[in-house]
Structure 1
Amino acid sequence: MNWGILGAANIAQKALIPAIREAGSTVFAVAARDLQRARDYASHNQIEHALSYDELLAHPDIDIIYNPLPNSGHLPLTVKALEAGKHVLCEKPLTLNAAEVQTMMAAQQVSGKVVMEAFFYRFHPQIQRLLEIVRSGQLGELRTMRSAFTFTLGNPDDIRWDPRLGGGAFYDVGCYCVDIMRLVAGKAPVAVQAVAQFTESRVDHTTSALLDFGGFVGHLDASFAVPFEQFLTVVGAHGVVHLNAPFVSMGHNATLTLNGLPETFDEVNGYTQMVQHFERAARGEETVQYPLHLDSLDQARILDQVLKQVGYPGF
């Protein structure tokens, strides 16, 4: 299938473009607000066409749009892509709030096309193994979950420091912790409690939250202000499962430890697995695994609750 990339994004260059090619498809075009930047990006990544946003969305040879724009650009450009008859794989967080998810859902319904939030980590075998363990009852009744995703974001000019673009640690990495807890719980929390530390521009550099799933609680930490860390621990009445690299597994020796016994996994590119699944869904060969109305809407509602509690701008 032919893909179009919205924006000259680092994540596309590092992850999605190689994954699309590994899946046997073509990165047909890239678009940017600055056409020269698009041309430079296209040349560097061996992409044939460099276009404007409108040209890319209207191009008849493009089947799928990948939207890795700043968070504030997810809704408007995804809706435009749907209106142009394209399927869309959109980066996380899908939108800035649940109301925007509902707007996107309405546009998707009219278009008949497929949209999915690009949580690539879900497609790694360790996540399937985690869910298998939880669903089997080996842990007994769940008691607590703990997760963290942190790193030091030192560049003061990074767009993730800009609240107008949907910046902040919780949007960027906290969303992973929320998502994996929802997967494990199999439901949304009934209540949340959260605190955050903000920069002068009112972007959270650190957010911590408690998610009450009714009978057990999940605790998460997300930060741009401390060294790199990622993990998930799920504690049940009869056992404990721990993932040392749940979100970024490549190069991190992903290991799942169940009651002290480690299980290792071969190097698997979750981005490639995600692209392959999305293409099959776009071709109508299988149902999209994480549809907006059953997945992304619940996710956005939880993010809204946390951001409202901590006083993020606009909430």
Structure 2
Amino acid sequence: MADHLRWGILGAAKFAREFMGPAIHAARRGELVALATSSPEKAAPFAAFAPGLRVHDSYDAFLADPEIDAVYIPLPNHLHVEWTDKALKAGKHVLCEKPMALAAGEIDGLIAARDTAGKLAAEAYMIVHHPQWHKARALLAEGAIGTLRMVDAGFSFFNDDGGNIRNKPETGGGGIRDIGVYIYGCTRFVTGEEPEEIVSARVDWENGVDTFASIAARFPSFDYAGYVSTRLSPYQEVTFHGTDGVMKLTTPFNARVFGEARLEVRRGMEVVTHRWPQADHYVLQVEAFNASALDGDDYPCPLEFSRGTQRMIDMVFAKAG
């Protein structure tokens, strides 16, 4: 049995260069060995931290490389399903950026392709690998804030660059797909519940993409209010309100970039704060993927979980009309 995965990256995206490429290189039991790009200039920064990197000038040649075990896909949203399917059929494990698909039904086909290939395929939903989210789930389960009644979540940043893929409808852009996946998925992860109904959805559109979306939803045992925007000052926070206390994550999604990861539990006048100043959820994500692919360990974010978050996104779009 292999003791490590040989990784390749399908496309020289900025995010892959700055975050996921270094994380793959740093993670235990993994090695970055290949990149697909036709641009030597884009390949150079990857080769700087991954000496000996093989560079393929076509995606098909990259997938045909027998020395690649696992593929990370940072392509624009509308290409995720197509290239995840192709990578699985080429016999590779696949970690694909979120959102995994543009509709929940598309993930059913990827689940079937995963099972047929006998490989691991997953969405790069890195936050569920961060210890703050495991702590939040454990605290809620043990009754640290009593009975949960309300969840509030917000995530925003400002990006009005018309040339950016996040602002292009043809590439699956918009705030809901880019960051709604975080505020919806984290709630499902911590509570283990699925939304019953989107009660209301106000969505602002600009050139065919959503730039602000505020929703109210009903889960089986609690209510939910959340918003995302790509036209507001940077902000992120998630709060769980219970009968006996309040649990708040102040840097829930971009730990160490937006600020220190902290989880605060307030019960009356008492506040207990948990901190994780060094945890790198990108490295933890790759290490969990390596362990699952190599040893068969359970993966914290299987495609079935991603399908549930995409279903909620679909429900929001349907309610907004």
Which category describes the TM-score, using the shorter chain as reference length? over 0.9
Name 2:95's counterpart in structure 1.
89
1:14 aligns with 2:24: no
Identity, % of aligned pairs? 33
* Contact 1:232–1:244 under 8 Å retained in 2: yes
Q: More displaced, 86-95 or 284-293?
A: 284-293
Match of 1:305 among 306, 310, 315: 315
1:266 aligns with 2:277: yes
Name the amino acid aligned to 1:210. Answer: A
Corresponding residue pairs, total: 305
In the alignment, structure 2 segments of 5+ residues that lack a partner are none
Name 1:255's counterpart in structure 2.
262
Name the amino acid aligned to 1:75. Answer: V
Name the amino acid aligned to 1:291. Answer: P
Question: By how many angstroms is 1:310 displaced?
Answer: 2.0
Matches within 5 A, 1:53-64: 53-64=59-70
Name 1:236's counterpart in structure 2.
242
Match of 2:162 among 148, 156, 159: 156
Match of 2:197 among 191, 202, 226: 191
Distance 2:317 2:73 in 1: 23
Distance 2:136 2:263 in 1: 8
Name 1:279's counterpart in structure 2.
290
Name 2:9's counterpart in structure 1.
5
Name 1:290's counterpart in structure 2.
301
Distance 1:264 1:287 in 2: 26
Distance 2:145 2:282 in 1: 29
* Contact 2:236–2:250 under 8 Å retained in 1: yes
Question: By how many angstroms is 1:222 displaced?
Answer: 0.5
2:295 partner SS: coil
Distance 2:183 2:173 in 1: 17
Name 2:221's counterpart in structure 1.
215
Distance 2:27 2:235 in 1: 30
Deviations 1:221-259 (A, max 9, x none): 100000000001000011100110010111412211101
Distance 2:252 2:81 in 1: 27
* Contact 2:24–2:31 under 8 Å retained in 1: yes
* Contact 1:140–1:236 under 8 Å retained in 2: yes
Distance 1:269 1:86 in 2: 25
Question: By how many angstroms is 1:296 displaced?
Answer: 1.4
* Contact 1:29–1:42 under 8 Å retained in 2: no
Name 1:29's counterpart in structure 2.
34
Name the amino acid aligned to 1:31. Answer: A
Moved over 4 A (4+): none
Name the amino acid aligned to 2:44. Answer: S
Deviations 1:40-90 (A, max 9, x none): 222222152221100111110000000111110100000000000000001
1:122 partner SS: helix
Question: By how many angstroms is 1:287 displaced?
Answer: 2.0
Question: By how many angstroms is 1:263 displaced?
Answer: 2.0
Distance 1:152 1:290 in 2: 28
Distance 1:232 1:118 in 2: 20
Name 1:179's counterpart in structure 2.
185
Deviations 1:124-169 (A, max 9, x none): 1111111111000121111100111100013221011111111000
2:274 partner SS: strand
Match of 2:79 among 50, 73, 86: 73
Name 2:233's counterpart in structure 1.
227
Question: By how many angstroms is 1:303 displaced?
Answer: 0.9
Deviations 1:249-308 (A, max 9, x none): 114122111013322223111000000000111113412222213x11211111111112
* Contact 1:4–1:27 under 8 Å retained in 2: yes
What's the C-alpha RMSD, in Å, of the aligned pairs?
Answer: 1.2
* Contact 2:36–2:62 under 8 Å retained in 1: yes
Name 2:42's counterpart in structure 1.
41
Matches within 5 A, 1:98-117: 98-117=104-123
Distance 2:245 2:184 in 1: 22
1:167 aligns with 2:173: yes
Q: More displaced, 273-282 or 6-15?
A: 6-15
Distance 1:112 1:237 in 2: 45
* Contact 2:193–2:220 under 8 Å retained in 1: no
Name the amino acid aligned to 2:310. Answer: A
Distance 2:219 2:120 in 1: 30
In the alignment, structure 1 segments of 5+ residues that lack a partner are none
1:50 aligns with 2:60: no
Distance 1:214 1:281 in 2: 31
Name the amino acid aligned to 2:32. Answer: V
* Contact 1:42–1:49 under 8 Å retained in 2: no
